[in-house]
Chains A and B, each alone.
Chain A
Amino acid sequence: MKYLSIDQCDAYYGKLKVLDCVSLDIEKGDVLSLIGPSGSGKSTLLRVLVGLNKPAAGRILLEGQEIDYQNKRSLKRARDRFAIVFQQYNLFQNMTALKNVTIAPVKIQRRPKKEVEDEAVALLNKVGLGEKLKSYPDELSGGQQQRVAIARALALKPEILLLDEVTSALDPELINEVLDTIRLLTQETRTMIIVSHEMSFVREVSSKVAFMDAGCILEVGEPRLIMENPGTDRAREFMTKILHH
């Protein structure tokens, strides 16, 4: 039985088909990176997994159990196991960094406040923001906000962490601080799906890479294989452009 299995999923934005018969299997502990040109459906695939876009066709199975995205309870159970970090961080603007990290574990997961706060402080220290506990999002730089967002996701103790282009909204100098944080996470055995345009980073941390184009997954395999010797013309063209950039 596969750990997470995406089986022939379609998804639409209005009439536009953004995922076209996508199938993908992920093993527990995999760090899978989705690469491909903008608009190829990478982010949509993550959004579909957490139910922000509903799949129009196909099935998604988590440890053999199908997630029914139309069913509130089933979706809630799935969302308990996933956490997503967004490209634009999406921190709650009315809360401090600490509160952003603790709110869901305390209010939604109903875990003891003291315990959650201690963990949150430890997490924020881990991402290098121990000094910024009381800062509000608009008092933080993009890189700092993104690291708070990563701490917020981790505080939920997700089984599967989804990272949606977490560095693409950042200044070049801030990218590394976020990538360092993620590097740290990949050393722990946690299942992760990463959407990224940072090719050398993808190659370094991923156990698997999937190449997407026009809503389809064209290739899946080991990073070296996909990036150095792609099997499809489209992937080859993409790699050449990106690596010579």
Chain B
Amino acid sequence: MWDRVAEELPRFFTYYNVVFFLKAMFTTFLLSLIGCVLGSIFGGLLAVIKITKSKVLWPLRALALVYVEFFRRIPFLVTLLLIFFFFQAFGLEVSVFTVALVSVWVIATAFIAEIVRSGLEAVPTTQWEAAAVMNFNLLQTLGTVILPQAWKVILPPAFSFFVLFIKDTALASQIGVVELTYSAKVLNNKGFSAALAFGVVLLLYYILSYPLAKFGAWMEMKLEISKHRSM
């Protein structure tokens, strides 16, 4: 096998192939980044809605609950196909990349909502009460009292989700999005050995996720050292 890989190497790393890989890597990066960023924003919002107690907000709470439970329980691939066919059914002409983007957004939101909710709930209710009797409103309570204490509970599972999520974006290849996994398949189909094509992709995935995992570990360490300091 190694002979074959060595023989293919010069032909493999052509300008065209390198650009092809980098483009695919950028697609994977974009899907992961947008999924994580939008997921964090909307997931955070859902988490806050879920922990409110206001009677007026109960329809929103019910909606949040159904959303989170639904999308956390069905496989990523099924969600992807559902959204794909949803766009088709309504005759909406969108690129497969857009479908994949909407999917990662929908999925990450559901998962991050649960991570943030459990973090917020890890802060004792007495902290909420102390803030309430001093007339803190919801945002003030969250911003100055609850979140600074919840970070250290939220960050570890959030980063481990982000790292897993980068790999899950590979499923977008199933609807034809040319991301990293798909690019390896293409080159493999062109006749290059699987070991070479997927080996390179393996490295590229590693390059994408390693800094993120490192960044997560660094944030956790920082929180541990200055465990009191508000972020």
A binds B: yes
Q: Which of B110-118, B134-142, B161-169, B185-193 contacts A (4 or more CB under 8 A)?
A: B134-142
Quick one: which of A94, A104, A138 contacts B134, CB cutoff 8 A? A104
**CB–CB A94/B133 < 8 A:** no
**How many residues on the A side are at the interface (Cβ–Cβ under 8 A)?**
25
Known: A103-B144, A136-B228. A92 touches B127 (CB 8 A): yes
Taking a contact as CB atoms under 8 Å apart, the answer to whether B135 and A79 are in contact is yes
Closest chain-B Cβ to A5's Cβ sits at a distance in Å of 20
Kindly identify which residue among B129, B149, B228, B230 contacts A90, using a CB–CB cutoff of 8 Å: B129
- B135 partner, pick from A52, A76, A84, A88, beta carbons under 8 A: A76
- B148 → A minimal CB distance (Å): 4
* A94–B228 alpha-carbon span in the complex (Å): 5
Chain B: minimal CB distance from A100 (Å): 9
B132 x A52 contact (CB < 8 A) = yes
**A107 CB contacts on chain B under 8 angstroms:** 136, 140, 144
A50 sits at the interface (CB 8 A):
yes
Q: Could you tell me the distance between the alpha carbons of A136 and B148 in the complex, rounded to whole angstroms?
A: 14
Q: Check: B126 CB closer than 8 A to any chain A CB.
A: yes
Q: How far is the CA of A90 from the CA of B135 in the complex (A)?
A: 15
State whether the Cβ of A95 lies closer than 8 Å to any Cβ in chain B: yes
Contact of A108 among B129, B135, B228, B230 (CB under 8 A): B135
The residue of chain B having its C-beta at the shortest distance from the C-beta of A136 within the complex is: B228
Once A94-B149, A94-B228 are accepted as A-B contacts, the answer to whether A108 and B133 lie under 8 Å apart by CB is: no
Q: Chain A: which residue is nearest B151 at the CB level?
A: A94
Confirm or deny: A83 has a beta carbon within 8 angstroms of a beta carbon on chain B: yes
Q: How far is the CA of A82 from the CA of B132 in the complex (A)?
A: 12
Residues of B near A156 (CB, < 8 A) are 134
Q: B18: CB under 8 A from chain A?
A: no
* Cβ of A86 under 8 Å from chain B: yes
Say whether A80 faces chain B, with CB atoms less than 8 Å apart.
yes
**A79 and B126 within 8 A (CB):** no
CB of A71 within 8 Å of the partner chain: no
Q: Using Cβ atoms and an 8 Å threshold, which residues of chain B touch A138? A: 228
CB within 8 Å for A93 and B135 given contacts A107-B140, A107-B144 = no
Out of A76, A90, A104, A136, name the residue touching B126 (CB < 8 Å): A90
Chain A contacts to B: CB under 8 angstroms? 50-52, 76, 79-80, 82-84, 86, 88, 90-96, 103-104, 107-108, 136, 138, 156
Chain B positions within 8 Å of A, measured between CB atoms, are: 126-127, 129-136, 140, 144-145, 148-149, 228-230
Known A80-B135, A82-B133, A93-B127; 8 more pairs at CB < 8 Å: A50-B133, A52-B133, A79-B132, A86-B129, A92-B127, A107-B144, A108-B134, A136-B228
